[in-house]
Structure 1
C-alpha cells in the first residue's frame, strides 16, 4: 500500500514538473510580455534630461549634481567591466578584444545592425544569439504576426554613438565571476524601412526614403556566460524611463 502511494506521488510530481515546463515554454512562445527568471531588468534607468531648466532654479543644480554623479558612475562601472572581462572572460588570450569605451561603440552599432537585418529576414536562430530572452520572445511573437515582407536598411550615422549609462551588478550567484554588465547607448542612425503585404503591396514605410531614427539601446553581458558576449537587452525611453518591450 505504501509503495503504491509513493509511486503515485512520484508520478504526480513528474507530471507537475512536466506541466510547469510546458506552461513556461508556452509563455515564452506566445506571450511577448513574459519575463524569464534570468531577467534582471535595467540596473539603473537614469536619463540625462534633454533640456535643462533655468540656471536660476534649484532644479538646475539638482540635475547638474545628478548628471555629475551619473558620469562618475559610468567611469567606475566602466572600469569594473574592463576588470572582470580581463579576469573571467574568454578574451584572456586576446587583449585586443577587451572592452574599452572607444572600441565598444563600433561593436555595438554592428550588433544593432545585425539584429535588425535578422529581424527583417525572420532569422530566429541568429536573433536568439543576438538579443536577451525577453526581447527574443517579443520578436518571435511579432514575427508570427507578420505575413508580408519587411525590408530594413542601414544608411550610416547621423551622429556618433553616445554613452548614456554604464552599469554592472552581481547576478543571482552573488560571486565575483557572476557580474552582469549593461550599457545604454544613444544611437542616432539613418534607416529605411518598408512593409509589404502578401500581395506585394507596400502598406507601411518606404524603402526608398531614408529617415533619421533616434533610439536608446541597452546592451547587456552576463560574465558567467563565457561564450555569448554582448547582446541587446532592449530599448530605453528618455520620456518614460522604462523598457519599450
Structure 2
C-alpha cells in the first residue's frame, strides 16, 4: 500500500528557499542584541596602577567610575543597655532605721514618704503599660533575691562574669568591682530585719520618647557578714564571724521597652548622715634595706712626752 506525505506549500518553500533570500525582521533586532551581555572583565593590574597615581589622578578616576571617596571613620553599632547614672535620686530621711514609727522622728518620716508617693504612682502606671503584672511587693522580694545572687557571684568573678552581668548593669559593674583585683571576698546573707519595700519609682526617656528606662529604689534592712582578704590571705576589711545590721537603698534598672530586658542592680544611694565606712587594712611589701657598713675607727697616735724623773739615789 502506497502512502503519500503531503506537505503545505509554505513549508516546501521554506525548505527549498536559498540562504541569500532569508528575511530578517527589524523588530527582532533588539531581542538579538539582548542575547549577548557585555561584561567588564576585571583588571588585575589596575590596583598596582592606582597605587602609583597621584591624589588628583585618583580623584579623577574615581569620579569617572562613579565611586565615592573613602571615609576615614567607621560607624559602630550603638547599644544603650543602661543609663549613665541615677535620675531624680531618692533622698532617704535622716535617722531611718534607728527611729521607730511611734517616735516623733518616725512619724515625720512616714509623712514625707506619703508626699513623695504621688509621683511614684504616676510612674508605676508607665511601667504597667509594658509589665501588666508588676507589683511593688512582689518586686521587692524579687529585688532582694537579685541582690543576694549578685553578691554571691562576686566571690568568683572570673568564673561567673557572664552571669554577673545579668544582675548588674554596665554602670554599676566597675563601681562594685573596684579594688577587688587579687583579693578574696566572703559575703553571707543572714536574715532580713524588715521586709524589703519599694520607696521610689522613676522613668526616663533616652534618645526618643519611645525608649523608656525605669529605676526602682528598694529599701533593704538586713543582717550580713562581709570579709575581704588580700592576696596573702590577710584580713583587710570586716569579719566572717561578726554579723552587722546593714541599711541600704539599692536602685534597680530595666529597659522596659525591651521585651527581653532584665531588672539589674544599677547603684546604691548613700545618704550624707550615714556613718563613714571603716578603712581598709592594707599590707605593704617590706622594703629591702641594705645593712650600713660602718667605717673602721681610725687608730689615734698619742704622743707621750718624755719627762726626766729625779734620780732618787743621788738625791
| 1:77 paired residue among 123, 135, 155 | 123
Which residue pairs with 2:228 in the alignment? 195
The answer to whether the 8 Å contact 1:220/1:233 transfers is yes
Which residue pairs with 2:88 in the alignment? 44
Greater shift, 214-223 or 162-171, is seen at: 162-171
Structure 2 CA distance for partners of 1:138 and 1:75, relative to 1, 3 Å:
same
Which residue pairs with 2:179 in the alignment? 142
1:180-204 residue CA offsets vs partner (Å, 9 max, x unmatched)? 1111111111111112222323232
Structure 2 CA distance for partners of 1:50 and 1:141, relative to 1, 3 Å:
closer
The answer to whether the 8 Å contact 1:129/1:228 transfers is no
Distance 1:77 1:220 in 2: 13
The answer to whether the 8 Å contact 1:48/1:67 transfers is no
Tell me: higher relative CO, structure 1 or 2? Use CA pairs within 8 A at least 6 residues apart.
Answer: 1
The answer to whether the 8 Å contact 2:81/2:255 transfers is no
Structure 2 unaligned residues grouped into runs of 5+:
1-54, 97-108, 274-315
Which residue pairs with 1:209 in the alignment? 242
| 1:129 paired residue among 166, 183, 189 | 166
Distance 1:44 1:117 in 2: 29
Structure 2 CA distance for partners of 1:65 and 1:214, relative to 1, 3 Å:
closer
Query: How many residues are treated as equivalent by the alignment?
Result: 199
Q: Which of structures 1 and 2 has the bigger CA Rg?
A: 2
Structure 2 CA distance for partners of 1:4 and 1:104, relative to 1, 3 Å:
same
Q: Secondary structure at the match of 2:137?
A: helix
Distance 2:253 2:82 in 1: 12
The answer to whether the 8 Å contact 1:47/1:164 transfers is no
Distance 1:42 1:199 in 2: 37
| 2:268 paired residue among 232, 235, 244 | 235
TM-score under structure 1 length normalisation: 0.69
Q: Note the aligned Cα RMSD (angstroms).
A: 3.3
Distance 1:3 1:82 in 2: 63
Matches within 5 A, 1:1-245: 1-2=55-56, 4=58, 10=70, 12-14=72-74, 38-50=82-94, 67-86=113-132, 98-122=133-157, 123-143=160-180, 146-175=181-210, 178-239=211-272
Q: Secondary structure at the match of 1:166?
A: strand
TM-score under structure 2 length normalisation: 0.55
Structure 1 unaligned residues grouped into runs of 5+:
22-35, 53-62, 87-97, 241-245
Give the superposition deviation at 1:38: 4.9
Name whichever structure is richer in helix by fraction.
1
Give the superposition deviation at 1:39: 1.9
Give the superposition deviation at 1:212: 0.8
Distance 2:73 2:191 in 1: 55
Distance 2:225 2:111 in 1: 39
Give the superposition deviation at 1:40: 4.7
